Structures are given as structure tokens and as C-alpha cells.
Chain A
């Protein structure tokens, strides 16, 4: 064990004052220290993408950042996607198009897709497949994830 550092993580607009070892990954801090368990951990080595969150407008693997590196940054997780009772178009599209089954990879896919579409709203369908190949899903065969994200992309462009 090493000494803990007191930091503040700003998640979905809310400050969490926590104390963590430098080795604490952002994923663990979000879940364990800030209690936001919607972000899931699937591999801890950057391949599966279940832990994807948006940090300062970039979708990133939260297992490959240390929590101390995220201080002062704007962190968005799946819990912050909906606007009150109104679901984000991406969440709605996943429900409408059966884009999830067990739901474990879903938060990562939602944050990946939202993060990329906010940066590149006009991304082509083909490039979108490249983006979605970033994360692993074991239930859906990706068919309905792709369908959901394309549907949400259309909605997001309208907004």
C-alpha cells in the first residue's frame, strides 16, 4: 500500500471528494469510491471497453487511467446520460432496437457511441463499425448495437 491522495472527481457534474492510492484506476474509483456502479469492469487491460467513460469530451477506457489523473476533468458516465426522466437518444435507441441483452457491456457501448458521435456527428456508417469494434459484446452479435447507434446518430443530428 502507498499513501493515499485526496482528490475531487467531477462525475456527471457532481463533485466526489475521495482519497485514493495513486494506483487506483479511474474505473475502480468511479465504482468503489464514488459509488457509481453503472460503469462496469470487464478486462482491466483495455480490450473490452466495458469501462468506457467520457473524460473531457473524449471516450476513454477508465481502466487505463489512474483516478489521480482525472482530477479537475469532466467525467461523464452512463448515470449522467439521461436528462432527468428523459432518456438520451442513445439509451432510447438501445431499448427500441434490442441493442442489449445481459446489459453488462451496455454502459461502455453507450458512452463510446455518445462520445464519438458528439465529436463526429456526421461519421459514416462504415466508420461507425470501426468505432464500435472498440468494445466487446458477447450477447448481441453486434447486429442490434449497430442498428441502435445508427438510429441514435440520426436522432442526435436532428437535435
Chain B
């Protein structure tokens, strides 16, 4: 099947494919959203955090009158200890409060409880922590250097995960290659920076002894499972609610030790306890992301066909290992997906995670893919240069075009449109016109550049993909319960837990399509472990595929049952009945019955069904798909101010294919937001530690998410290759926007730098870094006024 089409949204579908307004919005635009920090509490908590990156705790002195909890007070609480059963994983436990020693600046050492946040902070300021300062390991490469101090007793050499892979024929192909091209790429550390920082509120019910924990999380059920494990209590004694969640981007998919303590405190105090993280804490002590060194080499034949790839991935994963994915997430995803959209059957990879005295790594939108795509796409541009061919031509020679495709490491790629999206982007951006403009600009001493990024985005993968990583917990499937209640209204309870993705709207569209009621009348309920079926949450571009698939399965069952009931009530054959406009109609007649009437019948008049139809109108669906690949081509045009090193993104274009689009407006919004974060990754955002392990970027002036000024208009082109691996035919697209920009933008910067014969392979590509290159370059390769020594493409 060759099924790429320009974005359709058609197919005679009534609701799927339409940009209906979001059902989430009326409350949110009126200030009626309910976020965790909105809840009042009897007690407020302030964490006392380590000012040192490493060292033994000699003593903690509490001020008079303060309630201060330390590790000694919570001795029975288990450490957070995620597990991988593969890849030489060395399990480490993260204590809820530092025990005996500290391992990063910002690690929680004590918790102060007081009546207000202000009072708690006043007391916290007076808590004295005496630490015997030890040298800090900050950089990933330093962690594996000879003689480096060892962070955890069970992790010799600080290597906590080590994945190795090599295809049998690799060496022969490698030695026979015409050219070996090498890229040493550096992705610096980031913070996902959701606008709502972390927050938790736990209330104790004295009648039942239960705790209700509201917290800002992407995975409420797993928070319940994990906290129940830590505290050694039945899960039924803990209700977790993710109310409105102010963005997550992966940062809120790992278990926070702080949440464990808040739940513990509510039980301990038999009262309500709350903690709202401040921005400084979020920047130094929540979860960080990226921070990889990747050395990637490609072996090419004389025609610039990629024959083999060799990767060395070193991920600095901070002081501990995040739960549930573990710190294997970054390096192991890099290992699995490094070859991206290119056909290459020989592959060798060494992927390691190392522990350091820095904040623990968590997920951040794209996980590893922004870094590996950046590296791979830099490699392709370098190869194009070495072969003196157009960067687009080298991609044309190497993109996967035959599907299904099995990668060297064994991933199954379903049909995608790598080549087609690239050609769409190339045509839309008008490369020849750009090259002419670029030349004119160079003549005036102005430097423009164009850069491309083609990539695949593995999305919507179920439990087998996580099992392949050896995870003790494989967050894969999703369940959805759909009820039509006796009043005739539809409610879907979903295990997934969206936070801005508009899933209430898109799932309602899927249901509406099946059972013929308007989506605006359908309630999608999520985030409360008491009411939602067990589920994993919203992350990894999975929800529309997996939760959407489960929704479709359940909705089809509801549809089948409605048809049966209608058949009974209208005395017609099911095959003659259509569901639309909230009614079942017998085609070609005026006989009809409303869904409301059928629902009422299903509960209150079941005797009429003579045992042929089960009472009630609730159905359930569970879905655990193998995974599907979205893809895209991103193009950036940048203007480089060679005197200041400043880069302005003038134009940004995305041609993407995420299979069937349920709501184009929402899909576009996901891409927009992802691209903006990717631009931040490419140019602006960096968590910087000094040598002592202190963070120099602990506020939003020093850590720089982009503003409206830094983001150009983003042009989108859609293609649709309906997925064969997803029953809704949709592929995921939550992360794709974020994956492309570092590659596209840095390629564009390097295109602009061509006359100077310098290259940058570090993100963010900051003005200081660019100027440092240019300052050295100007000695040898200063461009002639009105001329251009190095234009190649």
C-alpha cells in the first residue's frame, strides 16, 4: 500500500478529522481550572535542600519550635528503586530524604512543617545542615575517568547502565567503506520547565484512614502503586488524583520523593499537608534532561550510501535513577533508535549511563531523540560536505523507502513517508530561491543558513517495547470504560492522564464517530485512581494511539450493543440501523429511537430483552499495540549575526506525518509547542553547573525558555499515512515537534557558517559558543567583503 495523502480528515467521517473546539477550554479560560496548588491545607512543607553536591552529613540542627523531619524519622519508608533486568543495570535506591550523605545540590535533606508556606520557609532557613564537603563529579566524562570518586557503593566506575550491540557483519563492512565520517556531538542539560512546577497535597480521612493525594503528575496510578510500595500500605488506602496539570513534558512522569513524603506526612499528622514547589527548586531539584555526549561515525560507500553506523553514547543521568523508567531510558533509547529514518543494516553501539553529583535525569519530550537526531543529521550534513553533494541528495540516497522495514537492531518500522515529507518540505521552502537570497546576503556580509532534519518518531508503543529494555515495570497498555448512563449521556473513564493534550476532546471525537452522539455531550473522565481504570498515563506520544485505541475498542462494543438494543426496540435488522444525531434510525424509514431512550431501556426495562442482551450499557476496551513510527522533515532558515553570535530563526517549516489526524487543530498545536521547545533546546536552554556542582542557572532569567519573540511563525504541512499498527490509524505526535529543531537549526547555523570553515556540534548553540568559533576562524578564514570563499551548496 502506498497510502500517503495530503492531510485529509475526510473519508466521510463525521467527527474524526475535524477541528472542533476543545472541551477542556471553557473552564480554563475562566480561571475555573483546578490545579493542585489551589487546595487549602492545614500544614505546609518546605524542603531543606543540600547546598553541597557531595559529602557526608555530619549533623542536622533544627531551630527551636520547628517541626523538622529527617531520614531518621522515616526509617521504615523504602527507597525509590527502579529496576532493569538487562544491560548491566546496577540498581540504586534514592532515599526520600538524604540518608547519611548528599549526592547533588538541591537534594532534599529535611522537611519542615508549618502552618503557612512563609513560616515553613522561615524555619527552613534556620535549619543547619553540617556536611563534610567532598569533591563533586559533575561531568559525564569525568565520571568514567580513571580515579573518579565512586558515587554509589554498588556502581563501580559510576556506570549504571551499559548497553552494547553489534551486527555480525559490522567489521567487514566497516573496513571496506569508502569514507568514514565522524560527529562528536554534545547535548547539554535542560529542564523541561512546565509552567506549573511540582505540587502535592495529601489529606487524611480519619473515618477510613485513607489518604487522598492530589499531585501534578502524568501518571496517577503509578504514583499510587509506587507510594504504596514505599510506605508499605495497601494501594486501596491511597487515592491519587491528578487534577488539572499545568504541563508535564515528561518531567512529571517520574515519581518524586517529595510526593512520597507528603503522603507519609498526611498519615503521620492525620491531617492535610501540602507542598508547592517553587521555580528555583524546580530548576535545581526536580528532574533534568538530555546531557549526552554522542560520538557517531558513519561508514559510506563511494556513492555516499550509508553502510554502517557506530555510536558511542554517554548519558549523564545524575545522582539517582528515576522511577519507573530508570536512567536506562536515555542511553537505551539512543541505542535502539540511533539509525533513525535511514536504511543501514550494520550497526554497532555502546550506550552508557553514568551517575554524577547532579540532579537526577527524567524524561523530557522526545527523550534522547532530539540528541540522536541532532547527531545523526549533523553526520549526514558532514558526509554531504565530504562527498561534495547536496545535503538533500545524501538523504535521498539513504532514507528508508520500503516498508515494513526491520532495523539493524530489530525494530519494525511500519509504513511512513520519510522521502515524501522531505520532498514536500523542500518544495514548500523553495531551496533555489533561498540559495539566491543567501548569496545576495553574503555579498552584503550577512549570513543566512538553511538546515534540514528528517527523522522517525517511534510512538504509541505498548508493553513489549518497554519489556525489550528489561524494565521491571512495563507501562504499555491502556484501558477505557465507556458508559451510557440511564439519562442517555456518555461518559468515558480513561486510565491515561492528559495535561494539555486535549484528550478529552479527541477521545470524545472517536466515541462520537462510533455511536453518533455529538462529542460535546460526551464526558471524558481521568486522573482519579478511584474512578479511572488502571492506566499508565500520558507520555511517549502514546495517548491518542493507545488510549485512543482502547477508546475505539470500547466504543465499538457500545455501538454493537446500541445496535442490538435498537434492533429490539425498532424491530429491525441491526444491519439496517444507523447511529447518528443521537439516534438509531432504520435506514430508509422514519423509524428511530434516541440513544437516551435506548439507554433507559438498557437499565430499566431489561426484561424486554428476553435474556438476549445483557443489562446495562457499559463497555470496556484495552489496547496494547506494538508501536508505530511517525515521521517528519523540519526545515529551519536562520540569520546568523556573526558579530554577536546571535541566531534568529527566520522561518521554520514542518512537514509531518502522524497517520490519521483526529483533530487537526489540536495536532497543529502539539507540533507548534514541540517546535518551540526544540528551538529552546537548540539555542537557549541550558542548565549549567560550576565545578563545585552548584547550579548557575537557577532562575528563569538564566535558564531561558523562549518567549514569543524567539519563535517564528511555524508553517505546517501534513501528510497522512494511516498506521497499520494502530486501530485508529493514528500515530503519535506529541514529541515530534521537539525532536527536529536542534538538528534543523544547527544544520542551518553550520550552513550559514560555511564561509568561515568552522562547525558547531553543540546544543544549545549559544552566541558565546558561536563567537568563540568565529573569533578563531577570523584569523584564517575571514570572508572577503563582497565575496565568499566557501560557498558550496
Q: Which residues of A contact B (CB under 8 A)?
A: 1, 21, 23-24, 28, 31-32, 36-45, 47-48, 50, 77-79, 81-82, 87, 91, 94-96, 98, 100-107, 110, 129-130, 132-146
Does B672 sit at the interface, judged by CB under 8 A?
yes
User: Which of B24, B119, B279, B707 is close to A42, meaning CB atoms less than 8 Å apart?
Assistant: B279
What are 16 sample pairs from A and B whose C-beta atoms fall under 8 A apart? A31-B37, A39-B31, A47-B701, A77-B31, A95-B21, A98-B22, A101-B502, A104-B195, A135-B707, A138-B194, A140-B676, A141-B673, A141-B675, A141-B677, A142-B672, A142-B676
CB distance from B745 to the nearest CB of A (A): 14
Q: How far is the CB of B115 from chain A (nearest CB, A)?
A: 9
Q: Which of B241-249, B569-577, B615-623, B760-768 contacts A (4 or more CB under 8 A)?
A: B241-249
A42 touches B196 (CB 8 A): yes
**B196 adjacent to A40 (CB under 8 Å):** yes
Interface size class of chain B, counting residues whose CB lies under 8 Å from the partner chain: 35 or more
Enumerate chain A residues within 8 angstroms of B122, measured Cβ to Cβ. Answer: 1
On whether the beta carbons of A37 and B700 are closer than 8 Å, the reply is: no
Q: Are A103 and B21 in contact (CB under 8 A)?
A: no
Q: Which residue of A lies closest to B119 (CB)?
A: A1
B66 beta carbon closer than 8 Å to chain A:
no
Residue in chain B with minimal CB distance to A107? B31
**Distance of A130 Cα from B710 Cα, bound (Å):** 10
Q: Indicate if B610 sits at the interface (CB-CB under 8 A).
A: no
Residues of chain B within 8 A of A137, CB atoms compared? 195
Residue of B nearest to A149 (CB): B708
Top 10 A-B residue pairs of the complex, sorted by shortest distance between their CB atoms: A38-B31, A104-B246, A102-B500, A103-B28, A141-B676, A141-B672, A78-B31, A101-B500, A133-B707, A37-B38
On chain A, the residues within 8 Å of B707 by CB distance are 132-136, 142
B57 is an interface residue with CB less than 8 A from chain A: no
Complex partner residue of A40 from B25, B35, B675, CB under 8 angstroms:
B35
Partner of B700, one of A1, A45, A105: A45
Q: Looking across the interface, which residue of chain A has its beta carbon closest to that of B39?
A: A37
Cβ–Cβ contact A103 & B673, under 8 A: no
The answer to whether B26 and A101 touch across the interface, beta carbons within 8 angstroms, is no
- Mask of B385-407 contacts with A, CB within 8 angstroms, 1/0: 00000000000000000000000
Which residues on A sit within 8 Å (CB–CB) of B34? 37
When C-beta atoms are compared, the residue in chain A nearest to B710 turns out to be A133
A95 to B714, CA, bound (A): 20
Among B543-595, those with CB < 8 Å from A are none
Whole-angstrom distance from the CB of A123 to the nearest CB of chain B? 14
Closest to B716 in A: A143
User: Which single residue of chain B is at the shortest CB-CB distance from A93?
Assistant: B29
- Chain A residue nearest in CB terms to B671: A141
User: Does B278 lie at the interface of the complex (its beta carbon under 8 Å from any beta carbon of A)?
Assistant: yes
Question: Is B669 in contact with A136, judged by CB distance below 8 angstroms?
Answer: no
Q: Tally A-B pairs: CB < 8 A.
A: 170
Q: How far is the CB of A85 from chain B (nearest CB, A)?
A: 10
What's the Cα separation between A31 and B40 when bound, in Å?
10
Is B713 interfacial (CB-CB < 8 Å)? yes
Q: Decide: B705 and A138 in contact? CB cutoff 8 A.
A: yes
**Closest B-chain residue to A47, C-beta based?**
B700
Q: Give the chain A neighbours of B244 by CB distance below 8 A.
A: 102-104
The one of B26, B32, B249 in contact with A138, judged by C-beta atoms closer than 8 angstroms, is B249
Residues on A with C-beta less than 8 A from B699 are 43, 45, 47
Q: Are B35 and A140 in contact (CB under 8 A)?
A: no
Question: In the assembled complex, how far is the CB of residue B623 from the closest CB belonging to chain A, in whole angstroms?
Answer: 24
Give CA–CA (A45, B40) in the complex, Å.
Answer: 23
Kindly list chain B residues whose C-beta atoms are within 8 Å of the C-beta of A39: 31
Q: Which of A1, A38, A130, A136 contacts B195 (CB 8 A)?
A: A136
The reply to whether B674 and A141 form a contact with Cβ atoms under 8 Å apart is yes
Residue of A91, A100, A139 contacting most chain B CB atoms (<10 Å) = A139
B26 touching A45, Cβ below 8 Å: no
Chief secondary structure at chain B's binding surface:
loop
CB proximity to A under 8 Å, residues B490-509: 499-502
A44 contact set on B, CB distance < 8 A = 278-279
In the complex, chain B residues 2-37 whose Cβ is within 8 Å of any chain A Cβ: 21-22, 24-35, 37
- CB contact under 8 A between A110 and B29, given known A102-B247, A138-B193: yes
Shortest Cβ distance from B703 into A: residue = A47
B661 within 8 A of A: no
Are A78 and B30 within 8 A (Cβ)? yes
**With an 8 A cutoff between CB atoms, is B484 at the interface?**
no
Chain B residues within 8 Å of A50, by CB: 195
In the assembled complex, the Cα of A129 lies from the Cα of B119 at a distance in Å of: 40
Given A98-B669, A141-B672, A142-B708, verify A104-B31 contact (CB < 8 Å): no
Tell me whether B22 and A95 are in contact (CB under 8 A). yes
Determine the chain B residues whose CB is within 8 A of the CB of A31 once the complex forms: 37-38
B665 within 8 A of A: yes
Are A23 and B118 also in contact (CB < 8 A) when A82-B30, A104-B247, A137-B195 are? yes
- Complex contacts, A100 vs chain B, CB 8 Å: 25, 28-29
Q: How far is the CB of B279 from chain A (nearest CB, A)?
A: 4
Contact partner of A98 among B245, B499, B666, B708, CB < 8 A?
B666
Residue from B28, B32, B674, B709 whose CB has the most chain A CB atoms within 10 Å: B28
**A37 to B31, Cβ gap below 8 A?**
yes
Chain A min CB distance to B709 (Å): 4
Residues of A within 8 A of B181 (CB): none
Inter-chain contact A143/B672, CB cutoff 8 Å: yes
Q: What sequence of 0s and 1s flags, for each residue 699-739 of chain B, a beta carbon within 8 Å of any chain A beta carbon?
A: 11100010111010110000000000000000000000100
Residues from 380 to 438 in B contacting A, C-beta threshold 8 Å: none
Contact of B673 among A40, A43, A110, A140 (CB under 8 A): A140
Residue of A nearest to B244 (CB): A103
Measured CB to CB, the closest approach of chain B to A82, in angstroms, equals 6
5 further interface pairs, Cβ-Cβ under 8 Å (given A37-B35, A81-B30, A136-B705): A45-B701, A79-B30, A104-B247, A137-B195, A138-B194
CB pair A103–B33 under 8 Å, yes or no, is yes
Residues from chain B with Cβ under 8 Å of A41 in the complex: 37, 276
Across the interface, which residues of A come within 8 angstroms of B29, CB to CB?
78, 87, 91, 94-95, 100, 103, 106, 110
Q: Contact check, A102 vs B245: say whether CB atoms are below 8 A apart.
A: yes
User: Is there contact, CB below 8 Å, between B500 and A130?
Assistant: no
Could you tell me the distance between the alpha carbons of A104 and B246 in the complex, rounded to whole angstroms?
5
Distance between Cα atoms of A132 and B708 in the complex (Å): 6
User: Closest residue of chain A to B122, judged by CB?
Assistant: A1
Distance, CA A145 to CA B119, complexed state (A): 38
* A140 in contact with B700 given A38-B32, A39-B31, A95-B26 (CB within 8 Å): no
A45 to B673, CA, bound (A): 24
B532 → A minimal CB distance (Å):
19
> Are the C-beta atoms of B30 and A43 separated by less than 8 Å?
no
Chain B residues within 8 Å of A102, by CB = 194-196, 244-247, 499-500
Give the residues from 651 to 710 in chain B that come closer than 8 angstroms, CB to CB, to chain A: 665-666, 668-669, 672-677, 699-701, 705, 707-709
A129 to B86, CA, bound (A): 50
Complex contacts, A91 vs chain B, CB 8 Å: 29-30
Which B residue's beta carbon lies closest to that of A91?
B29
| Closest CB in chain A relative to B524 CB, distance in Å | 16
Question: Are B700 and A94 closer than 8 Å at their CB atoms?
Answer: no
Measured CB to CB, the closest approach of chain B to A17, in angstroms, equals 18
Distance between Cα atoms of A59 and B708 in the complex (Å): 18
In the complex, which residues of chain B have a beta carbon less than 8 angstroms from the beta carbon of A1?
A: 118-119, 122
Option from B30, B33, B193, B247 in Cβ contact (under 8 Å) with A87 = B30
CA A133 – CA B246 in complex, angstroms?
19
Please state if B21 and A138 are interface contacts (CB–CB under 8 Å): no
* B278 close to A130 (CB less than 8 A): no
A residues within 8 A CB of B22? 95, 98
Q: Are A43 and B279 in contact (CB under 8 A)?
A: yes
* Cβ–Cβ < 8 Å partners of B117 in chain A: 28
